[in-house]
Structure 1
């Protein structure tokens, strides 16, 4: 039997190969609640940006956040891993729970941002090699063994569907990749930190149609293991990939329902007006 040790959720066999181990905290059944948001209000100084938002986000589903520019969907997304803490004069009231725990009182901030990763609108690779981009998070978590890091990098690039494109370029600068490749590299970098949730803030808005399709296909594959919440201006994208859709307007959650239901039989006239292109 191979000798094994476990470090930060990766099992390292004597050969040095790393393979993932699911931690107890991530052993959540599909359909259970990942986030519970109740009566959330968010203020930037005197500006009331989000108003009495309540919704439940289920595990291993893709939830799309839609609405016109400035409606609060990205602000809501960033609240889920407390990135709005960085905004001066930002204040949040109400209750946000991650796996049953209050994210402000019962969850360590670093642990929250590790478990709830984020991919941004513009690809943000570090000015480092492809390998070092993906290994960045594991190194911060204390992993230094070369074989273990190599295993994590390979696994993460495979999960992000870019191993075959990048395996012979690992020591080259990530800045030399195309925009679509950079975005998938950023997803791989997020996965390497072992999140259970991936927040995506318009991840395809700067990409061409082929790269967009690759990201959408990837999201559908990743939801088998991760909970995904995506902000999008693209109605068709929301219809194609999401299980649930939330429609925001002027800081209010107008409607939240199964995607098929919302796009075929919306409950609110404002939702119907938006998804049929009458405004926005």
Structure 2
């Protein structure tokens, strides 16, 4: 199968402190990959590497991350285009202080889409993909900030989808949500993986087991095991993975 993202001996440092230690992994296209591990293990740090979001934290990276076999750390890489192709949804929903419609239309407008009919179509399609359309279709002028937490998170997913990325990165997208909203997000992600590659950081091992095809277990900035989710949860290769999954630490 096609490998859309490849980490080759990725080391990340904040000054002299090394936060990621030689990560090697390949992420398959149109699958869900979960990153799990205890707090502070490097999951979110690695996730941010995939669209260079960590550069805002004054970090330096060694090694290579290839996206469609192109090095995303090449100095000539277009950061705006990279972040369009590899979108990010954060732990806390961050809708813009705009209407539901304008939240979703924001990216396409920045990208040059001016035609109202085309924007209408993009907004409707993106909200449907994010399983939010039926709840907001009669009130698209309502502020995105007026939605519930779960709706806001789905709005952020719709906003990401509106610019047609290839990869969606999600950093604990359900940790601040109630079980019903979390379930809706999980259902949405399961449907989206037919068209998008999804990488999700989660503290919830049951969630990883439910929705992901592959799972990476990280500990202290190192990748301990990367395997199919079924294999990892039923018969992990590494004793540390087994100990973590069975609650012996973390």
TM-score, L = length of structure 2? 0.98
Alignment of 1:35-46 (within 5 A): 35-46=5-16
SS in 2 for 1:57: strand
Q: Is the 8 A contact 1:62 1:230 kept in 2?
A: yes
Deviation at 1:107, TM superposition (A): 3.4
Unmatched tracts of structure 1, length 5 or more: 1-30
Aligned twin of 1:69:
39
Aligned twin of 1:103:
72
Alignment of 1:39-188 (within 5 A): 39-88=9-58, 90-105=59-74, 107-188=77-158
Aligned twin of 2:195:
225
Size of the alignment, in residue pairs? Answer: 249
Q: Is the 8 A contact 1:101 1:107 kept in 2?
A: no
SS in 2 for 1:256: strand
Aligned twin of 2:215:
245
Aligned twin of 2:180:
210
Deviation at 1:70, TM superposition (A): 0.4
Radius of gyration: which is bigger? 1
Deviation at 1:85, TM superposition (A): 1.1
| Counterpart check, 1:189 vs 2:189 | no
Unmatched tracts of structure 2, length 5 or more: none
Among 221, 226, 247, the alignment partner of 1:256 is 226
Give deviations 1:59-100, integer Å, cap 9, x for gaps: 001000000000000000000000011112x11000110001
Deviation at 1:109, TM superposition (A): 1.2
User: How many Å separate the matches in 2 of 1:245 and 1:107?
Assistant: 29
Give deviations 1:180-199, integer Å, cap 9, x for gaps: 00000000000001101000
SS in 2 for 1:104: coil
SS in 2 for 1:278: coil
Structure ranking higher on relative contact order (CA contacts 8 Å, 6+ apart): 2
User: How many Å separate the matches in 1 of 2:228 and 2:121?
Assistant: 38
4+ long deviations beyond 2 Å = none
SS in 1 for 2:206: helix
Give deviations 1:6-43, integer Å, cap 9, x for gaps: xxxxxxxxxxxxxxxxxxxxxxxxx3011011111000
User: How many Å separate the matches in 2 of 1:218 and 1:164?
Assistant: 14
Deviation at 1:277, TM superposition (A): 0.7
SS in 2 for 1:118: strand
Alignment root-mean-square deviation, CA: 0.7
User: How many Å separate the matches in 1 of 2:6 and 2:49?
Assistant: 12
